Chain A
Amino acid sequence: MIKVYTSTVIEAPADTVWGRIRDFNGLPSWTPFVADSRIEGSQPPDRIGCVRNFRLKDGGLIREQLLTLSDYDYQCSYSILESPMGVDNYVATLKLTPVTDGNRTFAEWWAEFDCAPERENQLARDIGQGVFQAAFDSLKTLMRR
């Protein structure tokens, strides 16, 4: 089991940032790498257990299931059901915390998963920088507008 952890500070109040990212079906609107997304079975995207089925801009298909959604803690966690990444037991959490000093937001995103030992470093980099940090960078740009 390895853990990847990425965190950043976003120059906007936590309420505003959360409003932008709480939609489990909303990845195409704020991440740079998702082409389109739908929720399976016509479920609402804030129903615990719902599955998002989305396509990456590079063509890969991913299915992820919503495990936790908390408007009180600004927190969302999910697991990967299917993906081309070659990871098992993948559970990720995205969490916001207000920074009272400056009315900004501390954003954390971490994942735990299993994979072949020789792929650990590459996957940790791909997920930590290529996915989480890339999404944060895009979100920071959106919040500046």
Chain B
Amino acid sequence: MIRVVRSAVIDAPIERVWAVLRDFNSHSAWHPIVADSTIENDESSDQIGCVRSFTLKDGNHIREQLLALSDTDYVSTYCILDATLPMRRYVATVQLKRVTDGDRTFWHWQSTFDVPRGREQEFTDLVGKGVYEGGFEGVRAYLRRRPGGPTSRSIVTAGASMTTQGVVAVRFGGPDVLEPRSLEVRPPGSGEVRLRQTAIGINYIDVYVRKGEYPLIQPPAPLGMEAAGEVVDVGDGVTHLLPGDRVAYACTPPGAYVGVRTLPASHLVVLPDEIDDEAAAAVMLKGMTAEYLLHRTHRLRAGETVLVHAAAGGVGLLLCQWAKALGARVIGTVSTDIKARAARAAGCDFVIVGGDYRFAASVRDATDGRGADVIYDGLGQAAARENFDALAMCGHWVCYGQASGPVSQLTVEDMQQKSATFSSPVLFHYSAERAVLTEMAARTFEALRQGILTLDIQHRYPLAAAAQAHRNLEGRTTIGPLILLP
């Protein structure tokens, strides 16, 4: 039986260190040797008996089970269920203690286990140095990257309301119904987080909501469905976030056009260091939309021909870039020559210019009469007949938006003529499950990191100028994402 003990002093209050360590699935965020980790069966990471299944950067795979967790004693005990490493009967305990002299944390980490005879030293070093000492350094670095914690928490009086500036739709109508207002932001309740927003994304759906075409708000109320910022304070039961964490979201109900917002913690994802706040605000809704359209609604394969409408729009540009990277042939439609250039730069192989919803003949010409295997359609009714004509046999028509109204008068018999598939997906149905949401966000951030997706943010407005931003968006003069800065 080998026993390994390591201990360290972390220069942070015990509450802050424990908030990180009590999350049994947090180690992929801070441990330098852990590549990725998930809790099996969608269980909560503080569920006694839950299993974390993770991969080390050297390729080894380990499953560990949580045996004990105590918020009063700051203790977590777990064991290895199975591993690609020859370790047996491994039981480990993490214990934190408060260093009252200086408000620091003493961290004690120990384990006992067996390994094959002759390999004791190798595994003593692996566990003691690689896992435990590496873990101490990892948490120190993690906490340095996320300053704040109880210090910034104390700046806000717990349970107190804050006031913030926002932009509300005072009634349904044109851009002029958007007016700046001072708003009260209540403190986070159970499961909620209060966020100081640094960048807010504008989406075409905001226009529909403003006009009253989607029944998502009751004026006067702020618009907006995506933003990035920093956690101010958290309510009871929030375990995956701390004050000071950089986060972003895309969700309903609307309410993002504000400086400070309280919302359910389950909508928020922690931002990787490489993704800045403006990029996050610009990419959460549009990037995750591209993610599910290309990877979930239709699993795009290399060699397929894709038709992307509004190819120079916020989602359109991302769809073109990502589809191209996946090996598809990309045909785009745009309304102007300037937009055509942007679409080509994003990877469009063939661009159709025109604002009259006439494109089916051009698509057939560009595909030797075959048509497109997949159509990503945000146009809706006015382009429905053309889309059907542009679709290849056994093609997939994915209608994720309806700028000209909902597609009607399309029948099952019509679809049968081409053995076609019609999908009408909604982002928030895909992202409703937290495990899927984090997966979608992670894949989107990874695509940004790899340069598959690039964001050229040319349109920034002060939050109070939201009405002007809407005018420009509806005037079809913008290219790429628009963001508001509180």
Partner of B9, one of A5, A106, A128: A106
A106 in contact with B97 (CB, 8 Å): yes
Neighbouring A residues of B102 by C-beta, 8 Å: 8-9
**B 105-143 binary contact with A (CB < 8 Å = 1; else 0):** 010100000000000000000000000010010000000
Task: For residue A14, give the distance in angstroms from its CB to the closest CB of chain B.
Answer: 10
Interface residues of B in 1-45 (CB under 8 A from A): 5-9
Complex Cα distance, B355 from A99, in Å, reads 71
- Kindly report which residue of chain A lies nearest to residue B4, judged by CB atoms: A100
A6 touches B (CB below 8 Å): yes
A32 touches B (CB below 8 Å): no
B104 touches A (CB below 8 Å): yes
A98 touches B (CB below 8 Å): yes
Neighbouring B residues of A108 by C-beta, 8 Å: 97
Task: For residue B139, give the distance in angstroms from its CB to the closest CB of chain A.
Answer: 12
A6 in contact with B101 (CB, 8 Å): yes
Neighbouring B residues of A100 by C-beta, 8 Å: 5-8, 133
Complex Cα distance, B7 from A128, in Å, reads 24
**A99-B8, A101-B136, A106-B9 in contact; A5/B104 too (CB < 8 A)?**
no
B98 touches A (CB below 8 Å): yes
Most buried by B among A101, A102, A104: A101
B100 touches A (CB below 8 Å): yes
A75 touches B (CB below 8 Å): no
Interface size of A by Cβ–Cβ distance < 8 Å? 17
A5 in contact with B6 (CB, 8 Å): no
A-B contact count (CB 8 A): 53
Complex Cα distance, B101 from A128, in Å, reads 11
**A 90-113 binary contact with B (CB < 8 Å = 1; else 0):** 000000011111101010100000
Task: For residue A19, give the distance in angstroms from its CB to the closest CB of chain B.
Answer: 20
**A7-B106, A9-B106, A106-B106 in contact; A101/B97 too (CB < 8 A)?**
no
Complex Cα distance, B5 from A9, in Å, reads 18
Neighbouring A residues of B100 by C-beta, 8 Å: 5-8, 128, 133
Task: For residue A140, give the distance in angstroms from its CB to the closest CB of chain B.
Answer: 9
A136 touches B (CB below 8 Å): yes
B101 in contact with A101 (CB, 8 Å): no
Neighbouring A residues of B101 by C-beta, 8 Å: 6-9, 133, 136
Complex Cα distance, B104 from A108, in Å, reads 13
State the B residues within 8 Å of A (CB): 5-9, 97-102, 104, 106, 108, 133, 136
* Top 10 A-B residue pairs of the complex, sorted by shortest distance between their CB atoms: A101-B8, A8-B101, A106-B106, A100-B6, A99-B7, A7-B100, A7-B99, A100-B7, A6-B100, A9-B9
- Pull 13 A–B residue pairs with CB atoms less than 8 Å apart, ordered by A: A6-B101, A7-B99, A7-B101, A8-B99, A9-B99, A99-B7, A101-B9, A101-B133, A102-B9, A106-B9, A106-B97, A106-B106, A108-B97
